[in-house]
Amino acid sequence: MNKKLEKELYKAGTLAFEELGFLLPSLEINEQQLNAQAEAAASVEFDGPFSGKLLVRICGGILPVLTANMVGEEEVPSKSLQYDALTEITNVICGNMLPGIAGSIGIFHVSVPKMDESFNLLPPVAEVQLGLGQGRADLLLFVSKYPGLEE
């Protein structure tokens, strides 16, 4: 996998989960986090100097916690609100990641993020796992037309 893409994906994901979700990603993934079952995924597609899709998959029951932290509620948020929170954090991660990869000259058209059931896709060009509490977030980047992708 491309190390530059992984680095930018990790940086964008960590920043979004810390600042929006008030969740501190762990440096290492423990066994419980690794074995956590996928509960939901959201994706956003983009087109510009290169095209692709970012998929964020949440595992291990952390979506209600993430959502409550994002909206400032103490009660368990509705599924609809949880899905809104997941699509929003996916959008933010993508928006923070693309300039890190393409630089300031890259202009992208980004689609509206949506819930995604693509749990079994082709291998991504970059993948990052963030340990979050008892669960984890998988960040998968799929791109085409990326200069230097073979590096």
Q: How confident is the model at residue 118 (pLDDT cuts 50, 70, 90)?
A: low
Q: Is residue 150 in some structural domain?
A: no
Q: E strands of 19-95, at which residues?
A: 38-47, 51-59
Q: Is residue 83 in some structural domain?
A: yes
For the chain, counts of helices (H) and of strands (E): 4, 6
> What total number of domains does the chain contain?
1
Q: Is residue 149 in some structural domain?
A: no
Q: In this model, does residue 28 exceed pLDDT 70?
A: yes
**C-alpha span between 60 and 4 (Å, rounded):** 28
Q: Is residue 127 in some structural domain?
A: yes
By residue range, what is the domain housing residue 23? 3-144
Q: Is residue 108 in some structural domain?
A: yes
Q: Output the domain CATH number for residue 101.
A: 3.40.1550.10
Q: In this model, does residue 34 exceed pLDDT 80?
A: yes
Among 118-122, 138-142, 147-151, the range scoring the smallest mean pLDDT is: 147-151
Q: E strands of the chain, at which residues?
A: 38-47, 51-59, 109-110, 114-115, 126-132, 135-144
